[in-house]
Structure formats: C-alpha cells, structure tokens
Amino acid sequence: MNNRLGILGAPLTVAQPNEGVDFGPGSIRYAGLFDRLNDLGLAYKDYGDVPVINKRTNGVDPKTNLRNLDHVASANEMIADYVYDLKKQGDVPLILGGDHSIAIGTLAGLSQFYSNLGVIWFDAHADLNRGETSPSGNIHGMSLGVSLGMGHERLTSIHGQEAKIKPEHTIIIGARSVDEGERQVIREQGIRVYTMHDIETHGITWVMNDALEYLNGKVDGVHLSLDVDGIDPNHTPGTGTPVVGGPSYREAHLAMSMLYNAGVLTSAEVVEVNPLLDEGNRTAEVAVDMIASLYGEKHV
C-alpha cells in the first residue's frame, strides 16, 4: 500500500431522473482538482472514467418500484470491478460520481479488502430506501441500504451475496430529509445518525470527534461517501435533490480537515455534482475545495 491517490470517474446518471450528473467527474477535474493535488505535493494517478452505459428504460418498473434496475446493476458491477483493480494496485481510491448509486459499486469493490470497513455517509439523505419504501423508485436513494444487504438481489449480490458493510460501522452526517421507511431501518439496525439538529446543538467539531471515536478500534478502514447535497445548497446548487438547511461551507470544510487530521481515511467518493443544474461550475469547485481539505490543504 502506498499513498498514491487513484482517481476514478463513475459517470452514472440513470439511478435518478436528471441528466447531467454523468458530467460530474469532468466538472470536478475541470474545477482544478489536479492543480490542488499538485500544490499538496500528492502523488496521484487518474484512471479515467468507468465506461458505464447510461441507458434509460421507461420509468419505474411497477413490480419492483425500481427505475432502470438493469442498467444501474450492470454499471455498478463494472464500477465494483474497476475499484477492486485500482485498490489492488495499492492506490488510495478517490471516486468521482455520478449519482449516489455508484456507492453500491464502490463499496462492493472495496469490500474484499476489509472485514470491518467504516463508512461515513455525509448527506442530506439517508439513502436507506428499498423498492418497497422508496417514494421515487430512484436507486440513488437506496445505495447505503443495498451496501448493508437490503434491497433487490440484483444489487445486493454484486461482488458476493454478503452485506458489504455493517450497520454498527455506518455513520450518517448532515441528515435532514429522511423517509419513514428509512427511519425504521435506522432504528432497527442501530445506524449512528448525526442530523442537522445534532450539528446545530453540539457543533461540527463535537460531531466529528464523536463519530471518529465511535469508529475507533472497531474498523480496519474508513470510507467517506460525500454527497454534495449534504452541504447547504447555497454553496452546492448544482445537484438533483437539494435540501435547504444544511451545514455551511465552513462546517463541511472543517469536517473534511478533521478527517484528514485523524489520518483514518482509506478511500473516498464525491457524488451528485450536476453541472447542468449548476451556476457556472460552483458546485464542482466546492467539491474540489472539500477534496483538497480532505487530503491536507491548510490555509497557512
């Protein structure tokens, strides 16, 4: 294992209805990602994009309440293979989405390397739906659940039948739009959730320290899944399912630098950047700021 970052784009868009999130990886690269990594003196290799096929069928299948299941499943099989290969090279994976369903592939690809991978899911949403509970049929709202082993077999069986992560190693930060079926999963499985209310009450510093302490000693790696809609849409307007009332740019930035300082992160992904919904390329620029902070950029 070296410290080289292995960067991989996963331009999947059909697990949600908006076109454009397939331009996420390019927009993040264009927002100055490589200059910032160069300034940090970080070694990296850009593996390019996974050649996913963004075919849409007609809407949601009434039998399963899943949208574009076949395409989402085959794309994520491919993503899992690519992430597996990248990790096998010894690189530190940094995956650029794509809609948040790509976490199904990322976590499946990573799962062979860990028996107790911790996951920090920074998101306005919980992404714990299944066909039976989803209000939309959009699989990007199901990826955390799938990785925990819940949901359609086509998705949960990618790279093996077993669950890819465990509920007691799963943390959601920034939640403020959680569906009823998801609340039940959180309660039943004992998933640790820091809502916006917790961030307001205790502050982001306390939340991050508490989250890190919760994982400490229990996990053999930590993956960050950063959904840009986790951040307040004042800063990240270019995303398909924005939710008002999120953490500020500064709070998110501090959360990232605390992850860097803790030195525990073994992989990360940044998802849901949609330049077609953006003002200029602002959202990708914020994503790059977050990535730079995550890998050690300091003000002085």
Q: Show contacts of 52-57: CB within 8 Å, 24+ apart.
A: 52/10, 52/11, 52/12, 52/78, 52/79, 52/98, 54/11, 54/12, 54/13, 54/14, 54/22, 55/14, 56/14
CB of 16 to ligand ARG, least distance (A): 7
| Residue 132 appears among annotated catalytic residues | no
Q: Does 13 bind ligand ARG (CB under 6 A)?
A: no
| Residue 22 appears among annotated catalytic residues | no
Of 46-54, 137-145, 194-202, 212-220, the window that binds ligand ARG (rule: CB under 6 A) is 137-145
Binder among 98, 109, 118, 141 for ligand ARG (CB under 6 A):
141
**269 in Cβ contact with 140 (< 8 Å):** no
Q: Does 100 bind Mn ion (CB under 5 A)?
A: yes
Measured from the CB atom, the residue of 227 and 289 that comes closer to ligand ARG is 227
Q: How many CB atoms lie within 10 A of CB 34?
A: 14
Chain residue whose CB lies nearest ligand ARG: 141
Interface characters, 197-236, with Mn ion (x: CB under 5 A): ------------------------------x-x-------
Cα 49 to Cα 75, 82, 162, 167, 276, distances in angstroms: 12, 9, 27, 30, 19
Cα 145 to Cα 41, 125, 220, distances in angstroms: 37, 12, 21
CB of 17 to ligand ARG, least distance (A): 10
Cα 217-218-221 angle, rounded to 5 deg: 90
Q: For the purposes of burial, counting CB atoms within 10 Å of the CB of 26, is it exposed (0-12), middle (13-18) or buried (19 or more)?
A: middle
Q: Does 67 bind ligand ARG (CB under 6 A)?
A: no
Q: Does 160 bind ligand ARG (CB under 6 A)?
A: no
Measured from the CB atom, the residue of 127 and 289 that comes closer to Mn ion is 127
Task: For 203-215, give one letter per residue: b (16+ CB within 10 A) or e.
Answer: ebeebbeebbebb
Q: Does 125 bind Mn ion (CB under 5 A)?
A: yes
CB of 275 to Mn ion, least distance (A): 17
Interface characters, 187-216, with ligand ARG (x: CB under 6 A): ------------------------------
| Residue 123 appears among annotated catalytic residues | yes
Binder among 19, 46, 168, 179 for ligand ARG (CB under 6 A):
179
| Angle separating helix axes 249-262 and 204-215, nearest 10 degrees | 30
Measured from the CB atom, the residue of 219 and 228 that comes closer to Mn ion is 228
**Which residue carries 């790696």 as its tokens?**
221
Q: Does 272 bind ligand ARG (CB under 6 A)?
A: yes
Which sequence positions are flagged as catalytic?
100, 123, 125, 127, 140, 227, 229, 272
